[in-house]
Amino acid sequence: MDLQEQRAQAARDTLDSLPESTAGAIRELSRYDFMDPEARRKFDELMDLLKQRMIESHFQDMREQFGTLDGPQMEGLKEMMRALNRMLRERAMGLEPDFPGFIAVWLVLRP
Which pLDDT does position 1 carry in this prediction? Answer: 60
pTM of this structure: 0.54
Please report whether residue 10 resides in a domain: no
Please report whether residue 53 resides in a domain: no
**Residue pLDDT, tens place only, 93-108:** 999 999 888 888 887 6
Range of the domain at 74: 70-111
Please report whether residue 79 resides in a domain: yes
CB 106 within 8 A of CB 80: yes
What is the total count of domains within the chain?
Answer: 1
Percent of the chain with pLDDT over 90: 41
Please report whether residue 108 resides in a domain: yes
Please report whether residue 63 resides in a domain: no
Q: What dihedral angle (degrees, nearest 10) is formed by the CA atoms of 30, 56, 61, 99?
A: 70
Which pLDDT does position 110 carry in this prediction? Answer: 55
Which pLDDT does position 62 carry in this prediction? Answer: 79
Please report whether residue 98 resides in a domain: yes
25: CB partners within 8 A, 6+ apart: 18, 19
If we measure between CA atoms, which residue out of 45, 50, 56 comes closest to residue 22? Answer: 50
101-110 contacts, C-beta under 8 A, 24 or more apart = 106/80, 110/76
| Residue ranges of the chain whose pLDDT lies below 50 | none
